[in-house]
Amino acid sequence: MTPYRRTRLFAGLDPLSVHSATSAELASGGLLAVAYAFPYETSPETVLVASRFDGKTWSETEIILDLPGIAVGNPVLWSDAPGQLQLFYVVLHGESWTEAAICVQESPDDGHTWGPARVVHERRGLMTKTRPLRHQGRLLLPVYDERNWCSHVLIQEAGSQTWQLYGDTTSRGKTIQPAIVPLADKRLLMLSRSPRGVVYESLSFNGGFSWTASQPTPLPNPNSGIELLRLVDGRLLLVHNPQEVGREQLALSCSTDDGRSWGAPRLIEDSAGEFSYPFALQAQDGRIHLLYTEQRTHIVHLQIDPDELQTTL
């Protein structure tokens, strides 16, 4: 199905299920990947697990967060300076995601040790899924409200420890799990997951403080998470399930005009079961690293050479 180098990580865990992987490039070289493992979603036995990639192989799985009797989920790794990592995740204060609160921990040493957890925002029901964006000195964290299904953004001013909630995209009941990228003309593009069969789009003209009303795009979406990445050559890379229903297919699509149009999707998975929740980054050497859930039993890692991407999309 795909010519890309394909490996698996977090396989054979107990709890058996693993989902929602995230990754960051390390100052010491290689990658750190984190996901959450669980017997079932919202289980109080859920833990965050991690593995390190040295360029050839992934290390043995280690548990980096275990809050006995408390469920966690949707980790997001972010590196804002060499060696400095932030790990965002949600903690449940009830029995469903509607009672979630976003927390963050910081590491000064590539994730070998972590500082104390801090609550990012007091509002319950806010959830993470995709990476932050450093824009005009501010840090923007894409979030969504699980209670009313609306995409938002949390903004932290440079030098501040507080976050303010912005970006009501007037998409209540329509969108969650937004992904944000900068465009060539200084606007920001937000694409979001939706239960309405297609990806939704919103734009910001003022650095993320306000957003246009979310509108449907022609891109299919089966109510599943997406990944959006701006490559160093200016192209936008979208990783998504190119279907209105089901998660049996996972594809790569590229845009050369800042999201106004998209090339035909290149399938990287097409078989029975579930392929979902992609997370991608472009490393310093230009190589694209893609992580995604397969069958809720392990995470797939694909390494993509940008030249191969050029010829296939």
Q: What is the pLDDT of residues 250-286, one digit of tens each?
A: 999 999 999 999 999 999 999 999 999 999 999 999 9
Question: Percentage of the chain surpassing pLDDT 90?
Answer: 88
Tokens 């699509």 -> residue: 253
Q: What is the pLDDT of residue 185?
A: 95
Banded model confidence at residue 170, pLDDT cuts 50, 70, 90: confident
Q: What is the DSSP letter of 310?
A: H
Banded model confidence at residue 2, pLDDT cuts 50, 70, 90: low
The secondary structure of 252-267 as a DSSP string is EEEESSTTSS-PPPEE
Burial 274-294 (b: 16+ CB within 10 A, else e): bbbbbbbbbeeeeebbbbbbb
What is the distance between the alpha carbons of residues 280 and 313, in angstroms, rounded to a whole number?
Answer: 16
CATH number for the domain running over 5-312: 2.120.10.10
Which of left, alpha, beta for 99 (phi over 0: left; psi -120 to 50: alpha)? alpha
Q: What is the DSSP letter of 98?
A: G
Angle at 251 between CA 141 and CA 296, to 5 degrees: 70
What mean pLDDT do residues 197-218 have?
96
Residue 110's nearest CA partner among 182, 34, 39 is 34
What mean pLDDT do residues 295-304 have?
95
Banded model confidence at residue 1, pLDDT cuts 50, 70, 90: very low
242 has a pLDDT exceeding 50 = yes
SS3 230: strand
Tokens of 15: 């709890």
Task: Look at strands 138-145 and 133-135 and give their pairing.
Answer: antiparallel
Q: What is the pLDDT of residue 78?
A: 97
Q: What is the pLDDT of residue 4?
A: 77
Q: What is the pLDDT of residues 18-36, one digit of tens each?
A: 999 999 999 988 999 999 9
What mean pLDDT do residues 109-124 have?
96
SS3 309: helix
Residue 203's nearest CA partner among 258, 144, 155 is 258
What is the distance between the alpha carbons of residues 93 and 287, in angstroms, rounded to a whole number?
Answer: 39
What is the distance between the alpha carbons of residues 223 and 196, in angstroms, rounded to a whole number?
Answer: 7
Task: Look at strands 84-92 and 100-107 and give their pairing.
Answer: antiparallel
| Structure-model confidence comparison of residues 5 and 18, the more confident one | 18
What mean pLDDT do residues 53-58 have?
95
Banded model confidence at residue 3, pLDDT cuts 50, 70, 90: low
Average the pLDDT over each of 21-30, 164-173, 178-187, 246-255 and give the range with the smallest value. 164-173
Q: What is the pLDDT of residue 310?
A: 63
Q: Are 152 and 102 in contact (CB under 8 A)?
A: no
What is the distance between the alpha carbons of residues 215 and 181, in angstroms, rounded to a whole number?
Answer: 17
Query: Roughly how many angstroms between the first and final C-alpha of the chain, as a whole number?
Result: 14
What is the distance between the alpha carbons of residues 280 and 227, in angstroms, rounded to a whole number?
Answer: 7
Report CA torsion sign: 50, 55, 59, 61: positive
Residue 305's nearest CA partner among 1, 59, 2 is 2
Report CA torsion sign: 288, 126, 157, 186: positive
Number of other residues whose CB lies within 10 A of the CB of residue 45: 14
Q: Calculate the alpha carbon distances from 20 to 101, 105, 234, 292 in Å.
A: 17, 18, 26, 7
